Structure 1
Amino acid sequence: MQTSNDIRTPAEIYDELFVPALFQQWAAVVLDAAKINPSSKVLDVACGTGVLALAAAGRVGTGGKVSALDASPEMLGVARRKSVRIEWHEGVAESLPFEDNTFDAVVSQFGIMFFRDRIAALKEMMRVLRRGGSLAVAVCDSLDHSPGYSTFAKLLERLFGTPVADAFRAPFVLGNPETLLSLCNDAGIENAQVRQHSGQVRFASIASLVSTERACAWTLGGMLDDQQFEELSREAELALQPFAGENGDIAFEMPALIITAHRP
């Protein structure tokens, strides 16, 4: 039987489910960290379907300008439907198609974990910053700090083995301040700071969480067949029950680490 997720692209599923469940809450936090004001010229790297870029556009108003870049044409296709004010660019973080000293702020949320060359990407972000400009990059904190997702990872390990569990763990691999500061140091960023910020995951139901994670092209997408998905759905209803509310929704903590720096 075909489900609603079967007729939507991964980018549409990400936008319709992951953005409100996880990512919407972080836009204001990242923009605050980057000290963006109404006259700022802003670049959003790994913009996805545009949640952070749209928030930046609302903050800078008509006095500023927002550009956004992503490597996925599918993600950009969803993003472009939302605003014609933002300049959308297809490209990779390791080779930004912008001149030196272009932006007052460069921001990125929950993308650097998937970059091919994280150090090169950080160097590029600093290159396109104007002197005195601000950088703010958000990553998922350690899986150990997100009890619901930690439980889910252990369930995947028990049911399907390490490769599947490790695919799910991929977004959390940079969840360590010392690791992030080391990356910044290797990229020549000497004034970087890393701070933890509280956040929460919230889905309408355990079933919604499981089906959304299964469809995620960047982690479990394509790894589970229908029989495995049915098994995961049954087991998850039990394993994740401690995080379920009276109305059937599910919520738990998922903090983020935010790198901030400025270009001298």
Structure 2
Amino acid sequence: MSENDKVFAGSIPDYYDEYLVPLIFESYARDLARRVVAEPVKDVLETAAGSGVVTRALAPLLPQGARYCVTDLNPPMLERAKSRQPTDPPVEWLPADALHLPFEDQSFDAVCCQFGVMFFPDRVTGYSEARRVLRPGGRFLFNVWDTIAQNEFADIVTHVARTLLPEAHANFLARTPHGHGNPERIRAELEKAGFRHIEIETVSGVSTAADPSHPAIAYVRGTPLYGELAPHGEKMLNRIIGAATEEIRDRYGEGEVSAKIQGFVITAS
């Protein structure tokens, strides 16, 4: 992982929330929220919350009086999440590193993290921290994307960027979001962190956009891929977005377009 992979600043949070969240995150957020409340919970921690798509889905499902603490390492993303969240039910917001959580041992019944563990510099340490703050019998629930080949819009945008701008080494999507979807490695890392009961489920879905340009804009301007491409100028950015839009239109048609997405949902206790 490069330092650029963790940069969600400037205009990225706005594009992320407007284009990428409805494209790939909302359905998985609703699924993860339902899994969190499938067992009784009173105190819940969310790490790497991003722009708050899980927070918006989960907060209304928690029992009255539950404590819900939402954290992210990146303050601009956390501010974006806070701005979108209703004030009721109450949510605690805290900038925090998932590898160094500022909570006492055995503080929570559940820890959840949607598509964030791929950004951990040391996943075993991150998993160990989740285990440390869980009460006995508590659950750690999180998502990881499958390989980029199983996530078609991301694959198209990456291929176009590499073709038009090979010197940029535009590998962010393949390297980080889609570079850790290995169930055997996930299980081994969780076991190393001390978890013994681990369930890994493959969840396939459909990614839908109102226009072929939306996936191109989402991945180019709403992710750290932007940091790999932006130094080559706005004209090149628009050229990549235009070419990816045409590729998506050629493959999936005019108007509303849909493509495959696939990830893993993991429950460890």
Q: Name the aligned partner's letter for residue 100 of structure 1.
A: D
1:233 deviation in Å?
3.0
CA separation in 1, counterparts of 2:86 and 2:227?
Answer: 28
Q: Within 5 A, what are the aligned runs for 1:165-204?
A: 165-169=170-174, 170-204=176-210
2:45 corresponding residue in structure 1: 43
2:15 corresponding residue in structure 1: 13
1:175 deviation in Å?
1.4
TM-score by length of 2: 0.86
CA separation in 2, counterparts of 1:139 and 1:165?
Answer: 21
| Count of residue pairs brought into register by the alignment | 254
**Alignment equivalent of 2:262, drawn from 229, 246, 255:** 255
CA separation in 1, counterparts of 2:63 and 2:209?
Answer: 31
1:150 corresponding residue in structure 2: 155
Q: Given the superposition, is the C-alpha separation of residues 186 and 161 from structure 1 closer, same or farther in structure 2, using an over 3 Å criterion?
A: farther
Q: Given the superposition, is the C-alpha separation of residues 237 and 199 from structure 1 closer, same or farther in structure 2, using an over 3 Å criterion?
A: same
Q: Within 5 A, what are the aligned runs for 1:168-247?
A: 168-169=173-174, 170-221=176-227, 223-224=229-230, 225-246=233-254
Q: Does the CA contact (< 8 Å) of 2:19 and 2:222 recur in 1?
A: no
Q: Does the CA contact (< 8 Å) of 2:213 and 2:245 recur in 1?
A: yes
Q: Does the CA contact (< 8 Å) of 2:41 and 2:110 recur in 1?
A: no
Divergent runs of 4+, >6 A: none
1:53 corresponding residue in structure 2: 55
SS class of match (1:136) = strand
Q: Within 5 A, what are the aligned runs for 1:26-105?
A: 26-37=28-39, 39-81=41-83, 82-84=85-87, 85-105=90-110
Higher relative contact order (CA closer than 8 Å, sequence separation 6+): 2
SS class of match (2:135) = strand
Aligned-residue sequence identity (percent) comes to: 28
1:201 deviation in Å?
1.9
Q: Does the CA contact (< 8 Å) of 1:168 and 1:220 recur in 2?
A: no
Q: Which sections of structure 2, spanning at least 5 residues, go unmatched?
A: 1-9
CA separation in 2, counterparts of 1:222 and 1:163?
Answer: 6
CA separation in 2, counterparts of 1:238 and 1:217?
Answer: 20
Q: Does the CA contact (< 8 Å) of 1:71 and 1:90 recur in 2?
A: yes
CA separation in 2, counterparts of 1:198 and 1:17?
Answer: 20
Q: Given the superposition, is the C-alpha separation of residues 131 and 243 from structure 1 closer, same or farther in structure 2, using an over 3 Å criterion?
A: farther
